[in-house]
Amino acid sequence: MSKQHAKEFREGMRDGFPIGLGYLAVAFSLGIAARQAGLNAVQGFVASLLSIASAGEYAGFTLIAAHASYAEIALGTLVTNARYLLMSTALSQRFNPNTPFIHRIGVGLGVTDELFGLAIARPQVQPFYQYGAMLSSIPLWCIGTSAGIVAGELLPASVVSALSVSLYGMFLAVIMPAARADRVVLACVLVSFAASYAAAHLIPLTMAWSSGTRIIVLTVVIATVAAIVCPVSREEDDHAA
């Protein structure tokens, strides 16, 4: 490793550590969900290491708890994490043209919302900077998940049930700012609530489906309709970025 790469790595470690502290708290709540789905601490650690996505992991743990099939779990996780395909595509345009393919793959394996933000804040994607940020943040994400599972095993059931409410708070914190800023997002959130209730309790056809299938179908249908009816213009997309 050259001196320049070592400097970039240290900068990434420095910038990624505060993100890791945030990951630790969020992943603890996910660990409670993983425990309720029947995962042990090692399984939760590996799941977080391979996914590194709060919404994707929550969807996966929910589907596991609902006894969904492997295909449903894989498809549900793919749909929930689809935005990372777009982020990786955007990052691919910001590499130095001479960057080896192996480094492009390495950076792509650690794309999260926050690490993506660190990457695009620099003139070019610097692989060793991203590796440093990944190394100081992702392990804390995994540890947080395992800690949540261990806490779920040690604490009384009533306390675990109370802690599981933090998941809903976490997702409200994710969707409320976006819903307040964008009426389309707000409409999608409200439609999702109503459609989920109707699919589970009012519509005979969807009531017969597993909860995993309902989640996948509603996610794809609502997102597709929103994209067709209210497409994001290029100017709005650039402004958001």
pLDDT in tens, 174-208: 577 778 888 888 898 899 889 989 998 999 988 88
The pLDDT-based confidence of 90 (bands split at 50, 70, 90) is confident
Q: How far is CA 62 from the centre of its chain?
A: 14
Tokens of 26: 């969020």
Furthest-apart CA atoms within the chain: distance in Å: 65
Query: pLDDT of 33-71, one tens digit each?
Result: 888 889 999 999 999 998 888 878 888 898 898 888 888
pLDDT of residue 167: 55
Asked if residue 164 has pLDDT above 80, the reply is no
User: Mean pLDDT lowest for which of 27-41, 45-59, 142-156, 221-235?
Assistant: 221-235
* Residue 25 contacts residue 144 (beta carbons within 8 Å): yes
Q: How far is CA 12 from CA 94, 125, 134, in A?
A: 17, 12, 8
pLDDT of residue 171: 61
Q: Enter the DSSP assignment of 39.
A: -
How confident is the prediction for the chain on average, in pLDDT? 84
Neighbouring-strand partners of residue 95: 125
CB-count burial class (<10 Å; 0-12, 13-18, 19+) for 138: buried
Cβ neighbours, 10 Å, residue 11: 17
Neighbouring-strand partners of residue 165: none
Tokens of 170: 């976490």
Spatial separation of the C-alpha atoms in residues 228 and 34, rounded to whole Å: 35
The pLDDT-based confidence of 13 (bands split at 50, 70, 90) is very high
Tokens of 63: 């589907």
Contacts of residue 130, Cβ cutoff 8 Å, sequence gap at least 6? 12, 106, 107, 110, 115, 118, 119
Asked if residue 173 has pLDDT above 90, the reply is no
